[in-house]
Amino acid sequence: MPVSVRLPTVLRTHAGGLSEVSAEGATIGEVVDDVVRQFPGTANHLKAPDGALHRFVNVYLDDEDVRYLGGLDTPVSDGAEVSIVPAVAGGTG
């Protein structure tokens, strides 16, 4: 079933300028993989070499951080909204 995936500004150049795309998947991992399949330019931003979620990207399922749900295995239900957000952090430490 398709869910809507909100892309951050920094990813839109890799997705034809779209702010929101439709993707298929029963879990967050499958949804992210479908975004990468449709827009291969997003791969390096979304996935780590080992297949995990890139550590500088946060994914929210209806505004809940999936790292605190079930990670990539988090089930996605019909009509859910998935949002991808860059992790913004730094500092001298």
Partner 1 sequence: MLRLRRQQWIEMVAHGLDCLPEEACGLLVGRPDGLVEAFRPCTNTDRSARTYAIDGREILRVERDLDASGNGLEVVGVMHTHTHTDAYPSPTDVERAALLASWHFLIVSLRHPEPVARSYRISDGEVAEEPIELVVR
Quick one: which of 50, 88, 87, 89 has its CA closest to 72? 50
As a whole number of Å, the end-to-end CA separation of the chain is 44
Closer by beta carbon to partner 1, 51 or else 88: 88
18 phi and psi angles, rounded to 5 deg = -75, 140
**Interacting span for partner 1 (CB under 8 A) from 21-29, 30-38, 71-79, 80-88:** 80-88
Minimum distance of partner 1 from residue 27's CB (angstroms): 20
**Interacting span for partner 1 (CB under 8 A) from 4-12, 26-34, 69-77:** 4-12
CA dihedral 67→68→73→76, nearest 10 degrees, is -110
Yes or no: say if 72 and 28 are a contact pair by the CB < 8 Å rule. yes
Structure tokens at 55: 């550590």
Please identify which residue in 17, 49, 50, 63 interacts with partner 1, judged by CB under 8 A.
Answer: 63
Please identify which residue in 19, 48, 70, 73 interacts with partner 1, judged by CB under 8 A.
Answer: 19
Instruction: Catalog residues that contact partner 1 under the rule CB under 8 A.
Output: 6, 8-10, 13, 19, 45, 54, 56-58, 60, 63, 65, 83, 85-93
